[in-house]
A and B are shown apart, each in its own frame.
Chain A
Amino acid sequence: MSHENRSKLNEIIATLLEVEAESLSNDCSPETIEHWDSLNHLNICVAVEQEFGITLTTDEMVAIRNVGDLVALLNTKNVVCA
């Protein structure tokens, strides 16, 4: 389950940021990925809400600094991503 969620998350990020899903690690961030601008940050949050059926608060959205933060946040919402 956690493995599936992780690949789903990678797929979402990869599609929106136009990168390869395999190349994504927890360290990936707006500093390391060219297309990760504020608009795409919002798109990632909205897509994560839609695809996992959860809600993020504005503060939670703003606090995400990299993929690892997003994974940790999803874990707190019972979406376990290893």
Chain B
Amino acid sequence: MNTAIQVLASVLDGFSNPPTTIEIARATKLLGALDAEQAGLKPLKVGIVSSFTFDPLARNLVIRGYVDGFRIDPTVSPFGQYIQELVSPNSALANSQPDVVVVAVRLQDSCPALYERFNELDAASNDAIVTEWQENFRRALVAFRRHFDAPILCCNYEQPAHPSMGLADARSPVSQRKTITAMNRFLDDLVVEIGSFHVVDIDNLAGRVGRARWQDPKLWYWGRIPIATENQWAYVGEIVRVLRATAGKARKVLALDCDNTLWGGVLGDVGRDGIALGHDYPGNAFVALQKRALDLYHRGVVLVVASKNEHSAVLDVFENHPEMVLRPKHISAFAVNWDPKPQNLQQVAAKLNLNLDSFVFVDDHPVECAMMREMVPSVKVVHLPQDPAQYERTLASLDCFDQLSVSEEDRQRGEMYRREARRAEFRAEADGLESFYAGLNMQMTIAVNDESTIARVAQLTQRTNQFNMTTRRRTESEILDLMRSQGVDVCTARLIDRFGDNGIVGLAIVGRDSHDAVLDTFLMSCRVLGRTVESSFLAWIGCMLREAGIRTLEGQFVPTSKNKPFADFYASWGMSLKHRADDGAERWTYDLEESSEALTIPPWIKVETLA
């Protein structure tokens, strides 16, 4: 481990929860001197427009960023000038050329009447205030978007701790709570209207920590800081949570221990009928944990079982215990044996074609947790608290699985990985590779510039790390622009096989002029690698370009820590290396006029092109 990473880890590990003012100040000094690249941090310029004193939060934000691998460089615009800051192309915000913009404008500041004298408002005046703010804010965002495509993270509006009308708010014709809910829905809807616009759910956070202690009046009256010191760390945590999802850093796999995690007791000692699982404590606490895990499964989190036990005994519980919520069909891999768990997870990762840094490991045993941390630091380890009653809450509070949106592909992911495991078995049975391929009945459906695929395409660019030749992340609005640009083809490949529909698994973004084409992006979901899908997809692209009269196809490769295993793909496909830059970036080329052997699609893949 290099020193920069060690310094980072030692500073962050020593924090209280939440960190004290002094800890933040010390960390600011220590971490500010770190070499971002050495520490593996992603530099990020964050422009902040707010309606209050944001500086203490900005300090917290920088430190919180380190926890998730960002080196945040904040620029806080003068407070109160939020509209001008967004609209003017010469504002402090605009001049800072931010990578990301945070809008922290409280409704208490922009529409004070809604909080301070709500009971004076009738329906018409309430409507007028709401509409005016919505129009002003929308106009400011649209104006900003004309000049910048930086993602906007917008904090939403918190409900008052005490509604003005008291109990009667629910029946009042002009309800304060409903008005603020409607304002928040307005922000949610802007997600569609303004590209790359994301809501930071501050209202939910305020509710979670408690509205009554959300603010510290001392800080507010004296410093115009509307968030109590103890809540500032959580506030910036919500911002970083969205940043992380925007950067595609979501984890994908939940690996669960069995004894005293999925059920109470040690299966080997008490037997299937002796484990705690059912309607009363402690069994209900374990049922609750399983229900939460199943809910994550339906959101696209892949479930894995990692237990030191007899394989057959664990499978017997999953199949036959009447109170089990999780069944074998929900589990993509059972790593149940007496081998060390780190080794088991490494094997599972290889089998599922997933990186260990997308794994979360949950166990009640301190030694298992310590061992995992030590042996595979990239795995996020969750050591369950001593009391099973706290288990479900612990799992529910994890935000490392967060994605900006959940697609149909995500919802089917667990099922897809289970099929992947079955394919692996099938592969072992098939005698030759070609007969294995043929037996898969693969059908690839290719679409070009199909706008219905935008969300999935953006997601693929954000989340694919391994088989991704250039790792260029793109937002939905960028993809839309590309699809509508002259000379750019955004090609997607969907794969269906005998085990089911894999969804859109491949993406190529091809730019071309009259003679030459460049593969700006070429990526493939790791699930389907090793079945000639990637080479066939590129062959199809080559054919399409040749028919359009293009003479050369250039493939670009930008090395990252994740895509190295696939560095030789262009060579194996038939391209020749044209140039290698000092930073390792490569340009490969294929002569479409002279050569053709790489352009053949093997007989075991049927290709269909959508018009």
Binding site for B on A (CB under 8 A): 12, 15-16, 18, 38-39, 42-43, 46-47, 50-51, 57-58, 61-62
Contacts and interface: CB of A to CB of B under 8 A. Distances in A.
A43 B59 CA distance: 12
Given A15-B25, A43-B56, A51 B20 contact: yes
B6 interface: no
Q: How large is the interface on B (under 10, 10 to 19, 20 to 34, 35 or more residues)?
A: 10 to 19
Contact of B22 (A15, A39, A58): A15
Contacts of B229: 46, 50
Contacts of A18: 29
A47 B222 contact: no
Interface string B524-552: 00000000000000000000000000000
Interface in B223-239: 223, 225, 229
Nearest to A62: B222
Interface of B: 20-22, 25-26, 29, 53, 55-56, 217-219, 221-223, 225, 229
Q: Lowest 10 CB-CB distances: which A-B pairs, in order? A: A47-B21, A50-B20, A58-B218, A42-B223, A15-B25, A46-B21, A47-B22, A46-B229, A16-B25, A43-B21
11 contacts: A12-B22, A15-B29, A39-B223, A42-B56, A43-B25, A43-B56, A46-B21, A46-B229, A58-B217, A58-B221, A61-B222
Q: Chain B CB within 10 Å — which of A39, A46, A51 has the most?
A: A46
Contacts of B223: 38-39, 42
Contacts of B22: 12, 15-16, 47, 50-51
A12 B223 CA distance: 20
Nearest to A56: B218
Contacts of A58: 217-218, 221-222
A12 B26 CA distance: 10
B232 to A, nearest CB: 10
A5 to B, nearest CB: 15
A7 B219 CA distance: 26
A10 to B, nearest CB: 12
B21 A39 contact: no
B21 to A, nearest CB: 4
Given A16-B22, A46-B21, 4 more contacts: A39-B55, A42-B225, A47-B20, A61-B222
Nearest to B230: A50
A12 B218 CA distance: 20
Nearest to A16: B25
Nearest to A48: B21
A69 B55 CA distance: 26
Given A15-B26, A43-B56, A61 B218 contact: yes
Nearest to B217: A58
Nearest to B223: A42
A46 B20 CA distance: 9
A18 B25 CA distance: 9
Contacts, number: 43
B350 to A, nearest CB: 47
A61 B221 CA distance: 12
Contacts of A12: 22
Contacts of A42: 56, 219, 222-223, 225
A47 B20 CA distance: 7
Nearest to B16: A50
A39 B20 contact: no
Contacts of B219: 42, 46
A36 B430 CA distance: 75
A50 B233 CA distance: 15
A58 B217 CA distance: 9
B52 to A, nearest CB: 13
Contacts of B55: 39
A65 to B, nearest CB: 15
Given A15-B26, A39-B53, A39-B56, A50 B222 contact: no
Contacts of B218: 57-58, 61
Contacts of A38: 223
A16 B21 contact: yes
Contacts of B25: 15-16, 43, 47
Contacts of A15: 22, 25-26, 29
Contacts of B225: 42
Contacts of B56: 39, 42-43
A5 B334 CA distance: 56
Contacts of A47: 20-22, 25
Nearest to B19: A50
A51 B25 CA distance: 13
A38 B579 CA distance: 57
A50 B21 CA distance: 8
A60 B535 CA distance: 72
A9 B172 CA distance: 53
A16 B56 CA distance: 12
Nearest to B222: A58
Nearest to A12: B22
Contacts of A43: 21, 25, 56
A68 B227 CA distance: 29
A42 B221 CA distance: 12
A50 B221 CA distance: 20
A43 B57 CA distance: 12
Q: Chain A CB within 10 Å — which of B21, B25, B53 has the most?
A: B21
A46 B229 CA distance: 8
Nearest to A47: B21
